[in-house]
């Protein structure tokens, strides 16, 4: 079993170079399971008959991968409205994360904004998930909706807290999972915490790093596949 984990690419209009490099990774790496750990798009909303036009190459690539691999998409605070479109093409969608047992260890995969973010982004995301907000947003013309979303995206990014390891260690130590894998922090991290492991793939904006789980090990890797850090799961 080989698992590839990527997060926080924030694809949008004008991010074509970043998108192409991410697609190259998804096409070249060897893996059985792909986990998209949130904020893959800087904004995503599914109207009844319209989906975003930007990042089409990435979208098409994930659709094709879902026909031959298991693909999981955990929503982030910037792509909180992923849903039926992705389910219809075979992608498993998770609103707040999911757990799986790999190599005898219990993994928690989450975007992390509810765990490590400030209360304000968590509140904003909770509002986004409400039925009334979804209904009201669906009444907007898609172009107006995307424009409004870019304003909210900038505000969300401004409100996010800087992470600190003491907060991470405290939260991870309280979880029942053996391995906590989280996005959102934009920093590649792999560390042991009170007998557990905490891992963050980093991002595909500035660091261009990702996680790989295989052969009883978890590693943070650079875009060229070289290993930045690695830990045994045993």
Q: What is the pLDDT of residue 43?
A: 86
Which of the two residues, 104 and 156, has the higher pLDDT score? 104
The answer to whether residues 73 and 92 touch, using CB atoms and an 8 Å cutoff, is yes
Q: Are 11 and 43 in contact (CB under 8 A)?
A: no
Q: Nearest CA to 208 among 188, 192, 194?
A: 188
Arithmetic mean of pLDDT, 183-198 = 95
How much is the mean pLDDT over the chain? 87
The confidence score (pLDDT) of residue 48 equals 73
- Tell me, letter by letter, the H, E, C secondary structure of 89-120: CCCEEECCCEEEEECCEEEEEECCHHHHCCHH
Q: In the predicted model, what is the mean pLDDT of residues 137-147? A: 61
| Bridge partner residues of 41 (DSSP) | 11
Terminal CA-CA length for the chain: 15
Q: Which residue has the higher pLDDT, 80 or 47?
A: 80
Least-confidence region, from 119-123, 146-150, 181-185, 190-194: 119-123
Q: Quick: pLDDT tens for 194-234.
A: 999 999 999 999 999 999 999 999 999 999 999 999 999 98
Q: Under CATH, which number does the domain 3-232 receive?
A: 3.60.21.10
pLDDT of residue 63 exceeding 70, the answer is: yes
Name, of 128-132, 147-151, 173-177, the range with top average pLDDT.
173-177
Q: What number is the average pLDDT over the span 61-72?
A: 98
Quote the percentage of the chain above a pLDDT of 70: 80
Report residue 158's pLDDT band, with 50, 70 and 90 as the boundaries: very low
List the structure tokens of 72: 């999981």
Give pLDDT, residue 151.
61
- Which pLDDT score is estimated for 80? 84
Is residue 180 pLDDT above 90, yes or no? Answer: yes
Mean pLDDT of 143-166: 60
Which pLDDT score is estimated for 38? 96
CA distances 10 to 51, 104, 186, 196, Å, are 16, 33, 11, 29
Whether residue 5 contacts residue 184, with contact meaning beta carbons closer than 8 Å, is answered with no
């Amino acid at each position: 079993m080989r698992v590839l984990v990527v997060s926080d690419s924030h694809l949008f209009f004008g991010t074509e170079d970043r998108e192409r490099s991410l697609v190259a990774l998804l096409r070249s790496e060897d893996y059985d399971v792909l986990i998209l750990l949130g904020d893959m798009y800087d904004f995503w909303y599914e109207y009844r008959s319209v989906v975003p036009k930007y990042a089409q190459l990435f979208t098409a690539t994930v659709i094709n991968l879902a026909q031959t691999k298991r693909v999981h998409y955990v929503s982030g605070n910037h792509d909180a409205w992923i849903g039926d479109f992705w389910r219809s093409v075979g992608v498993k969608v998770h609103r707040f994360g999911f757990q799986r047992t790999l190599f005898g260890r219990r993994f928690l995969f989450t975007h992390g904004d509810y765990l490590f973010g400030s209360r304000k982004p968590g509140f904003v995301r909770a509002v986004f998930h409400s039925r009334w907000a979804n209904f009201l947003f669906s009444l907007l013309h898609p172009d107006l909706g995307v424009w409004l979303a870019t304003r909210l995206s900038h505000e969300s990014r401004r409100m996010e807290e800087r992470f600190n390891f003491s907060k991470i260690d405290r939260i991870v130590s309280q979880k029942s999972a053996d391995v906590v894998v989280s996005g959102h922090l934009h920093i590649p991290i792999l560390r042991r915490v009170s007998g557990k492991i905490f891992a963050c793939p980093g991002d595909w904006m500035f660091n261009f790093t990702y996680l790989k789980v295989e052969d009883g090990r978890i590693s943070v890797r650079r875009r060229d596949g070289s290993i930045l850090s690695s830990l045994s799961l045993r």
